[in-house]
Amino acid sequence: MVGSHIRLAAVTAFCLLTAACASSPDYSDRSSGWSRAQSIPEAPLQCVPYARDHSQVKLYGDAADWWQKAAGVYARGEMPELGSVLVLTGYAGPRHSHVAVVTAMVSDREIRVSHANWLNDGAIFIDDPVVDVSPDNDWSQVRVFNERTGAWGARTYLVQGFIGPGRDNPLVADNS
């Protein structure tokens, strides 16, 4: 009788554990309206490690510090380039920034980026549309498409610039 209770407890525990694993939502569901969100990892993924892992820019620290840390190390500019890292400033307040990797050049006013934690939930968004809405067409202000609502986000973000993809001072071959 005691052995039966132990087996029953073991089977119950196993069922509860496997049910917990299976009960997490499927964030890749195409019918949810945000099909480009790949997943939400166990620990939310932040934008900095995602950008570092998916670009040639290998900086560390807070996204708010990337622009300054890139000075003298990586090329920095005002215009997007394929593979560059977009740095948004004032993303969620004056001291918060966001970084995203430019994955496609659609037109002189539209790009695609891949980034993590855009909506503060750790989700990864692939080829997310970003449009230049600056009055001078200089990429100083952008809007980001919201995959969940299927519309352009209402907020305009300030762009600090684009980092990379190359080095700031490439070595010049010495022909002497």
The better pLDDT of the pair 67, 26 is held by 67
pLDDT at 102: 98
Distance in angstroms (rounded) separating the CA atoms of residues 67 and 87: 7
Say if residues 69 and 93 touch (Cβ distance below 8 Å). Answer: no
Cα–Cα separations (whole angstroms), residue 78 to 68, 110, 137, 159, 161: 14, 14, 11, 8, 5
Evaluate if residue 27 carries a pLDDT over 60.
no
The better pLDDT of the pair 37, 165 is held by 165
Mean pLDDT value across residues 117-128: 90
Distance in angstroms (rounded) separating the CA atoms of residues 38 and 30: 10
* H/E stretch holding 66: helix 66-70
Peptide bond into 129 cis (omega under 30): no
Mean pLDDT check: name the lowest of 3-7, 98-102, 130-134: 3-7
Residue ranges and CATH numbers for the domains of the chain are 32-167 (3.90.1720.10)
pLDDT at 43: 56
Distance in angstroms (rounded) separating the CA atoms of residues 170 and 151: 41
Evaluate if residue 71 carries a pLDDT over 60.
yes
